[in-house]
Amino acid sequence: MLPLLRAGLPLGNALRLALLADTASITIMEIVDNLVMLAIPGAMDAPLSSGLFWGSLAFSLAVAGAVAFPVVRWLIARGKGHAVVHAHHGH
């Protein structure tokens, strides 16, 4: 939020933009990631040294990213989320 505040946005607007930019995609990704990991037999109990753990994690994150992508695109298309935040970062 600091770059938004430095860009001159009021605190309320900066907070709203920062939350909107990340909350939707992170929430969707976390839910889908956890559901996929739960659906793969043994993935939740696999040790960190296991290929099952890392393969399941990579697969679940790929699925979660694919599910969250349309939401992020929808926000950007409407001038919300990261599109607005990046406009204030000078990118």
Q: How far apart are CA 64 and CA 51, in angstroms?
A: 20
Structural domain including 30 reads 2-89
Buried b (16+ CB within 10 A) or exposed e, 74-84: ebeeeebbbeb
Tens-binned pLDDT, residue by residue, of the chain (91 aa):
777 788 888 899 888 877 777 788 889 999 999 999 999 999 999 999 999 999 999 999 999 999 998 988 887 777 776 656 666 655 4
pTM value surpassing 0.85 = no
DSSP notation for the chain? -HHHHHTT--HHHHHHHHHHHHHHHHHHHHHHHHHHHHHSTTTTT--TT-HHHHHHHHHHHHHHHHHHHHHHHHHHHTT-THHHHHHHHT-
Question: Number of folded domains in the chain?
Answer: 1
